[in-house]
Amino acid sequence: MTITQDGARSSVDHSSEKRGMNLTLRVWRQNGPTAKGKMVTYKVTDISPDMSFLEMLDVLNEQLIMEGDDPVAFDHDCREGICGMCGVMINGQAHGPQQTTTCQLHMRSFKDGDTIDIEPWRASPFPVIKDLAVDRRAFDRIIQAGGYISVPTGTAPEAHSILVPKKDSDAAFDAATCIGCGACVAACPNASSMLFTAAKVTHLGLMPQGQPERNDRVVNMVAQQDREGFGGCTNIGECSAACPKGISMETISRLNHDLLGALRAGARPKS
Protein backbone atom coordinates (compact mmCIF):
# COMPACT_ATOMS: atom_id res chain seq x y z
CA MET A 1 0.00 0.00 0.00
CA THR A 2 1.29 3.44 -0.79
CA ILE A 3 0.97 5.79 2.13
CA THR A 4 1.24 9.45 1.35
CA GLN A 5 2.93 11.82 3.74
CA ASP A 6 -0.25 12.65 5.63
CA GLY A 7 -1.07 8.98 6.07
CA ALA A 8 -3.76 8.79 3.41
CA ARG A 9 -3.74 5.97 0.95
CA SER A 10 -3.90 7.15 -2.60
CA SER A 11 -7.41 6.69 -3.91
CA VAL A 12 -6.27 4.89 -7.03
CA ASP A 13 -4.35 2.27 -5.09
CA HIS A 14 -6.60 -0.77 -4.77
CA SER A 15 -4.60 -2.73 -2.27
CA SER A 16 -7.11 -5.59 -2.35
CA GLU A 17 -5.75 -6.38 -5.79
CA LYS A 18 -2.31 -6.98 -4.33
CA ARG A 19 -0.92 -10.46 -4.06
CA GLY A 20 -1.93 -12.10 -0.78
CA MET A 21 0.30 -13.18 2.08
CA ASN A 22 1.21 -16.69 3.12
CA LEU A 23 1.24 -17.15 6.88
CA THR A 24 1.97 -19.82 9.45
CA LEU A 25 -0.49 -19.87 12.35
CA ARG A 26 0.18 -21.56 15.65
CA VAL A 27 -3.20 -21.86 17.31
CA TRP A 28 -4.13 -23.03 20.80
CA ARG A 29 -6.48 -26.00 20.52
CA GLN A 30 -8.29 -27.19 23.64
CA ASN A 31 -11.37 -29.33 23.43
CA GLY A 32 -13.21 -28.15 26.53
CA PRO A 33 -12.48 -26.57 29.92
CA THR A 34 -10.81 -29.60 31.48
CA ALA A 35 -9.10 -30.98 28.39
CA LYS A 36 -5.38 -30.55 27.89
CA GLY A 37 -4.57 -28.00 25.22
CA LYS A 38 -1.70 -27.61 22.79
CA MET A 39 -0.47 -25.36 20.00
CA VAL A 40 -1.24 -26.68 16.52
CA THR A 41 0.35 -25.31 13.35
CA TYR A 42 -1.67 -24.37 10.26
CA LYS A 43 -0.85 -22.63 7.00
CA VAL A 44 -3.05 -20.05 5.33
CA THR A 45 -2.34 -18.66 1.89
CA ASP A 46 -3.30 -15.67 -0.21
CA ILE A 47 -4.36 -13.53 2.74
CA SER A 48 -5.28 -9.98 1.69
CA PRO A 49 -3.81 -7.15 3.76
CA ASP A 50 -7.31 -5.61 3.83
CA MET A 51 -8.75 -8.60 5.66
CA SER A 52 -9.52 -8.29 9.31
CA PHE A 53 -7.78 -10.74 11.61
CA LEU A 54 -11.05 -12.59 12.17
CA GLU A 55 -11.70 -12.83 8.44
CA MET A 56 -8.30 -14.50 8.22
CA LEU A 57 -9.49 -16.99 10.87
CA ASP A 58 -12.69 -17.49 8.82
CA VAL A 59 -10.50 -18.52 5.89
CA LEU A 60 -8.68 -21.01 8.11
CA ASN A 61 -11.95 -22.42 9.43
CA GLU A 62 -13.56 -22.87 6.00
CA GLN A 63 -10.38 -24.73 5.05
CA LEU A 64 -10.56 -26.92 8.17
CA ILE A 65 -14.24 -27.79 7.68
CA MET A 66 -13.62 -28.81 4.09
CA GLU A 67 -10.79 -31.05 5.28
CA GLY A 68 -13.20 -32.60 7.79
CA ASP A 69 -11.39 -31.08 10.76
CA ASP A 70 -12.85 -29.26 13.69
CA PRO A 71 -12.74 -25.51 13.03
CA VAL A 72 -11.10 -23.25 15.62
CA ALA A 73 -13.65 -21.93 18.12
CA PHE A 74 -13.35 -18.22 18.75
CA ASP A 75 -15.75 -15.62 20.11
CA HIS A 76 -16.82 -12.69 17.96
CA ASP A 77 -19.99 -10.86 17.11
CA CYS A 78 -20.26 -7.24 15.98
CA ARG A 79 -16.92 -7.13 14.15
CA GLU A 80 -16.86 -3.39 14.47
CA GLY A 81 -14.97 -3.07 17.72
CA ILE A 82 -17.81 -2.32 20.11
CA CYS A 83 -19.44 -5.48 21.46
CA GLY A 84 -16.35 -6.74 23.28
CA MET A 85 -17.03 -10.35 22.35
CA CYS A 86 -13.79 -11.00 20.46
CA GLY A 87 -10.32 -11.11 21.89
CA VAL A 88 -7.31 -13.38 21.60
CA MET A 89 -3.63 -13.18 22.42
CA ILE A 90 -1.69 -12.56 19.23
CA ASN A 91 2.03 -13.13 19.51
CA GLY A 92 1.67 -12.72 23.26
CA GLN A 93 -0.21 -9.40 23.07
CA ALA A 94 -3.87 -8.97 23.96
CA HIS A 95 -5.65 -8.12 20.68
CA GLY A 96 -2.28 -8.10 18.91
CA PRO A 97 0.20 -5.44 17.88
CA GLN A 98 -2.22 -2.51 17.67
CA GLN A 99 -4.28 -0.95 20.41
CA THR A 100 -7.63 -2.11 19.07
CA THR A 101 -10.00 -5.06 19.23
CA THR A 102 -9.06 -8.28 17.46
CA CYS A 103 -11.87 -7.73 14.93
CA GLN A 104 -10.48 -4.31 14.02
CA LEU A 105 -6.93 -5.55 13.65
CA HIS A 106 -6.23 -5.88 9.95
CA MET A 107 -3.78 -8.13 8.20
CA ARG A 108 -1.86 -5.13 6.90
CA SER A 109 -0.21 -5.24 10.35
CA PHE A 110 1.54 -8.46 9.28
CA LYS A 111 3.81 -9.40 6.44
CA ASP A 112 4.21 -12.27 4.06
CA GLY A 113 5.89 -15.28 5.68
CA ASP A 114 5.06 -14.29 9.28
CA THR A 115 4.39 -16.88 11.96
CA ILE A 116 1.56 -15.82 14.26
CA ASP A 117 0.83 -17.33 17.68
CA ILE A 118 -2.84 -17.24 18.62
CA GLU A 119 -3.95 -18.08 22.16
CA PRO A 120 -6.96 -17.49 24.41
CA TRP A 121 -7.02 -15.00 27.27
CA ARG A 122 -5.12 -16.71 30.05
CA ALA A 123 -6.51 -16.04 33.53
CA SER A 124 -8.07 -18.53 35.92
CA PRO A 125 -11.29 -16.49 36.36
CA PHE A 126 -11.72 -16.79 32.57
CA PRO A 127 -11.83 -20.58 32.03
CA VAL A 128 -11.42 -21.80 28.47
CA ILE A 129 -14.65 -23.05 26.90
CA LYS A 130 -13.01 -24.32 23.76
CA ASP A 131 -9.88 -23.31 21.85
CA LEU A 132 -9.83 -19.49 21.90
CA ALA A 133 -13.23 -18.93 23.53
CA VAL A 134 -13.27 -18.20 27.25
CA ASP A 135 -15.97 -17.64 29.84
CA ARG A 136 -15.97 -14.01 31.01
CA ARG A 137 -19.09 -14.05 33.13
CA ALA A 138 -16.97 -13.07 36.12
CA PHE A 139 -17.18 -9.53 34.71
CA ASP A 140 -20.97 -9.62 34.84
CA ARG A 141 -20.82 -10.69 38.48
CA ILE A 142 -18.61 -7.70 39.27
CA ILE A 143 -21.27 -5.46 37.72
CA GLN A 144 -23.95 -7.29 39.70
CA ALA A 145 -22.07 -6.42 42.89
CA GLY A 146 -22.71 -2.71 42.37
CA GLY A 147 -21.99 -1.48 38.86
CA TYR A 148 -25.31 0.31 38.46
CA ILE A 149 -27.49 3.12 39.74
CA SER A 150 -30.65 1.88 41.44
CA VAL A 151 -33.41 3.54 39.51
CA PRO A 152 -36.41 1.33 38.74
CA THR A 153 -38.19 2.15 35.49
CA GLY A 154 -40.61 5.02 35.80
CA THR A 155 -39.08 6.63 38.87
CA ALA A 156 -36.76 9.03 37.07
CA PRO A 157 -37.07 12.82 37.46
CA GLU A 158 -37.16 15.11 34.40
CA ALA A 159 -33.81 14.82 32.65
CA HIS A 160 -32.90 18.50 32.89
CA SER A 161 -33.39 18.52 36.64
CA ILE A 162 -30.00 16.81 36.85
CA LEU A 163 -27.20 19.07 35.61
CA VAL A 164 -23.83 17.50 34.97
CA PRO A 165 -20.78 19.68 34.30
CA LYS A 166 -19.51 18.92 30.82
CA LYS A 167 -16.05 18.15 32.15
CA ASP A 168 -17.42 15.44 34.45
CA SER A 169 -19.79 14.09 31.85
CA ASP A 170 -16.99 13.79 29.29
CA ALA A 171 -14.68 12.07 31.76
CA ALA A 172 -17.49 9.72 32.80
CA PHE A 173 -18.11 8.92 29.15
CA ASP A 174 -14.45 8.11 28.57
CA ALA A 175 -14.54 5.58 31.39
CA ALA A 176 -17.94 4.24 30.30
CA THR A 177 -16.63 3.26 26.87
CA CYS A 178 -15.11 0.08 28.37
CA ILE A 179 -16.45 -2.83 26.30
CA GLY A 180 -15.73 -5.57 28.83
CA CYS A 181 -13.54 -7.57 26.46
CA GLY A 182 -11.10 -8.71 29.12
CA ALA A 183 -7.90 -7.62 27.39
CA CYS A 184 -6.87 -5.78 30.58
CA VAL A 185 -6.97 -9.02 32.55
CA ALA A 186 -5.20 -10.96 29.82
CA ALA A 187 -2.44 -8.36 29.55
CA CYS A 188 -1.86 -8.03 33.30
CA PRO A 189 0.91 -10.20 34.77
CA ASN A 190 -1.31 -10.54 37.87
CA ALA A 191 -4.50 -11.20 35.87
CA SER A 192 -6.07 -8.29 37.70
CA SER A 193 -9.46 -6.93 36.67
CA MET A 194 -8.76 -3.57 38.26
CA LEU A 195 -9.07 -1.51 35.07
CA PHE A 196 -12.46 -3.03 34.25
CA THR A 197 -13.80 -2.38 37.76
CA ALA A 198 -12.23 1.06 37.95
CA ALA A 199 -13.79 2.11 34.66
CA LYS A 200 -17.29 1.47 36.02
CA VAL A 201 -16.50 2.98 39.44
CA THR A 202 -15.20 6.08 37.66
CA HIS A 203 -18.09 6.37 35.23
CA LEU A 204 -20.78 6.22 37.90
CA GLY A 205 -18.76 8.02 40.56
CA LEU A 206 -18.34 11.10 38.39
CA MET A 207 -22.07 11.52 37.81
CA PRO A 208 -24.26 13.24 40.40
CA GLN A 209 -26.75 10.40 39.99
CA GLY A 210 -24.09 7.94 41.16
CA GLN A 211 -23.30 9.59 44.49
CA PRO A 212 -25.78 7.90 46.87
CA GLU A 213 -24.37 4.42 46.17
CA ARG A 214 -20.78 5.48 45.58
CA ASN A 215 -19.23 4.03 48.75
CA ASP A 216 -21.08 0.74 48.71
CA ARG A 217 -20.45 0.35 44.99
CA VAL A 218 -16.68 0.48 45.25
CA VAL A 219 -16.32 -1.82 48.25
CA ASN A 220 -18.68 -4.43 46.83
CA MET A 221 -17.22 -4.44 43.34
CA VAL A 222 -13.68 -4.76 44.69
CA ALA A 223 -14.75 -7.56 47.04
CA GLN A 224 -16.39 -9.40 44.14
CA GLN A 225 -13.33 -9.21 41.91
CA ASP A 226 -11.34 -10.72 44.76
CA ARG A 227 -13.89 -13.50 45.17
CA GLU A 228 -13.65 -14.27 41.45
CA GLY A 229 -9.93 -14.87 41.84
CA PHE A 230 -8.56 -11.94 39.87
CA GLY A 231 -5.09 -10.86 40.99
CA GLY A 232 -4.18 -7.68 42.79
CA CYS A 233 -3.25 -4.49 40.97
CA THR A 234 0.38 -3.43 41.22
CA ASN A 235 0.09 -0.45 38.87
CA ILE A 236 2.07 -1.97 36.03
CA GLY A 237 -0.10 -0.40 33.33
CA GLU A 238 -0.19 -3.23 30.81
CA CYS A 239 -3.99 -3.13 31.10
CA SER A 240 -4.32 0.40 29.84
CA ALA A 241 -1.73 -0.15 27.12
CA ALA A 242 -3.73 -3.13 25.81
CA CYS A 243 -7.17 -1.56 26.25
CA PRO A 244 -8.82 -1.11 22.84
CA LYS A 245 -10.80 1.82 24.23
CA GLY A 246 -7.80 3.45 25.89
CA ILE A 247 -9.28 3.42 29.41
CA SER A 248 -6.86 5.43 31.48
CA MET A 249 -4.88 4.36 34.56
CA GLU A 250 -6.38 7.43 36.21
CA THR A 251 -9.51 5.38 36.72
CA ILE A 252 -7.52 3.08 39.00
CA SER A 253 -6.28 6.04 41.03
CA ARG A 254 -9.87 7.16 41.34
CA LEU A 255 -10.97 3.71 42.45
CA ASN A 256 -8.26 3.60 45.12
CA HIS A 257 -9.24 7.06 46.29
CA ASP A 258 -12.91 6.07 46.45
CA LEU A 259 -12.15 2.79 48.16
CA LEU A 260 -10.09 4.43 50.86
CA GLY A 261 -12.77 7.06 51.43
CA ALA A 262 -15.50 4.44 51.52
CA LEU A 263 -13.68 2.25 54.01
CA ARG A 264 -12.92 5.26 56.20
CA ALA A 265 -16.59 6.16 56.08
CA GLY A 266 -17.43 2.70 57.36
CA ALA A 267 -18.63 1.03 54.15
CA ARG A 268 -18.10 -2.73 54.22
CA PRO A 269 -18.76 -5.31 51.49
CA LYS A 270 -21.89 -7.42 51.66
CA SER A 271 -20.90 -10.94 52.58
Partner 1 sequence: MPLELFTVGDPIADTKAPSDVAIGERWSERRFRGRLVNPANRRKMTVIVVGTGLAGGSAAATLGEAGYKVKSFWYQDSPRRAHSVAAQGGINAAKNYRNDGDSVYRLFYETIKGGDFRSRENNVHRLAEVSVNIIDQCVAQGVPFAREYGGLLDNRSFGGTQVSRTFYARGQTGQQLLYGAYQALERQIAAGSVEQHARTEMLDLIVVDGRARGIVARDLVTGEISTHYADAVVLATGGYGNVFYLSTNAMGSNATAIWRAHKRGAYFANPCYTQIHPTCIPVKGDYQSKLTLMSESLRNDGRVWVPKERGDTRDPREIPEGERDYYLERIYPSFGNLVPRDIASRAAKNVCDEGRGVGPGGLGVYLDFADAIGRLGRPAVQAKYGNLFDMYAQITGEDPYATPMRIYPAVHYTMGGLWVDYDLQSTIPGMFVIGEANFSDHGANRLGASALMQGLADGYFVLPATITEYLADAPFDTVDDSHPAAGEALQNVQNSVQRMLDINGTRTPASFHRELGKLMWDMCGMERSEESLRKALDRIPEIRQEFWTNLKVTGDGQSFNQTLELAGRVADFIELAELMCVDALHRRESCGGHFRAESQTPDGEALRDDENFAYVAAWEWTPENEPPVLHKEDLEYEYVHLAQRSYK
Helix, strand, coil proportions of the chain in percent (round to 5)? 35, 15, 50
Q: Is 44 or 262 the residue whose CB approaches partner 1 more closely?
A: 44
Which H helix or E strand runs over 110?
A: none
* 66 near partner 1, rule: CB under 8 A: yes
Q: How far apart are CA 49 and CA 159, in angstroms?
A: 47
Site for partner 1 in 185-214 (CB under 8 A): 203-204, 207, 209-210
* 137 near partner 1, rule: CB under 8 A: yes
* 139 near partner 1, rule: CB under 8 A: yes
Burial-class residue 239 by CB neighbours within 10 Å (0-12, 13-18, 19+).
buried
3-state SS class at 241? helix
Is the backbone of residue 58 left (phi > 0), alpha (psi -120 to 50) or beta?
A: alpha
Contacts of 123 (CB under 8 A, 6+ apart): 182, 185, 186, 191, 230
Q: How far apart are CA 27 and CA 244, in angstroms?
A: 22
Q: How far is the CB of 224 from partner 1 (least distance, A)?
A: 10
* 136 near partner 1, rule: CB under 8 A: yes
Q: How far is the CB of 238 from partner 1 (least distance, A)?
A: 22
Query: Of residues 27, 44, 90, 106, which one binds partner 1 by CB under 8 A?
Result: 106
**Signed CA dihedral, 146, 149, 150, 153: sign only:** negative
Q: How far is the CB of 120 from partner 1 (least distance, A)?
A: 13
* 226 near partner 1, rule: CB under 8 A: no
* 8 near partner 1, rule: CB under 8 A: yes
Q: Is 54 or 89 the residue whose CB approaches partner 1 more closely?
A: 54
In this chain, which stretch among 156-164, 183-191, 232-240, 247-255 interacts with partner 1, using CB under 8 A? 156-164
* 234 near partner 1, rule: CB under 8 A: no
* 260 near partner 1, rule: CB under 8 A: no
In this chain, which stretch among 88-96, 172-180, 184-192, 258-266 interacts with partner 1, using CB under 8 A? 172-180
* 35 near partner 1, rule: CB under 8 A: no
* 116 near partner 1, rule: CB under 8 A: no
In whole angstroms, how far apart are CA 188 and each of 94, 121, 184, 206, 238?
Answer: 10, 11, 6, 26, 6
In this chain, which stretch among 47-55, 88-96, 190-198, 248-256 interacts with partner 1, using CB under 8 A? 47-55
